[in-house]
Amino acid sequence: MINNFISYLRNILNYKWYRPGMFAWIVQRLTGLGLVLFIAMHLSSLRKITLSPEAFNHLMETYRSPLFKLAEIGLLAGVIFHAFNGARITTMDLGLASKKQKRFFWMFFGAALLAFAAGVLPIVLEVFK
């Protein structure tokens, strides 16, 4: 069973994982999985608000520690890639730009980078206050 899984992973990585289409396919699933895990963690830790004010405030304090800020930047990157790639997939599902897929990918990737820069700026500025 493990061998099947390893050969499954090998098959995926064998096919041009560095090219836009395959790369987007892989990273969409990785970020999606990461986001599902994040949601589970986010909900289970926010439950602390039902316990006591101290527990919740302590949680908010840990959210401001450097490690969490770094993780937050990673989260932002993951969400932005997943969202923009999803938009790209949906436009292609609707039959638009099917002849210009690679160009489309780079358009969306560029827009995603802009959005990421816009989002990460406040976080970084907050650190250097």
Partner 1 sequence: MTNPVLWLVQRISGAILAVVLVIHIWVMHFSTESGKIDFNTAMQRLSQPYWKWLYGIFLFFVLLHGMAGFRLFLFDYGFSKKKRSLISALIILLGAALLYIGLKILFFVS
Question: Which chain residues interact with partner 1 by CB under 8 A?
Answer: 5, 8, 29, 32-33, 35-36, 39-40, 43-44, 46-47, 49-50, 53, 56-57, 60, 64, 79, 83, 86-87, 90, 93, 119, 122-123, 126
Give dist(CA 71, CA 63) in Å, integer.
10
Q: Which is nearer to partner 1, 14 or 57 (CB)?
A: 57
What φ, ψ does residue 108 adopt, rounded to 5°? Answer: -65, -35
> Residue 106 Cβ, how far from partner 1 at the closest point, in Å?
20
Asked if residues 120 and 73 have their Cβ atoms less than 8 Å apart, the reply is yes
Q: Which is nearer to partner 1, 20 or 32 (CB)?
A: 32
Give dist(CA 115, CA 42) in Å, integer.
23
32 CB contacts (<8 Å, ≥6 apart)? 82
> Residue 111 Cβ, how far from partner 1 at the closest point, in Å?
12
> Residue 76 Cβ, how far from partner 1 at the closest point, in Å?
8
> Residue 67 Cβ, how far from partner 1 at the closest point, in Å?
18
Torsion of CA 23, 24, 30, 31, to 10 degrees: 140
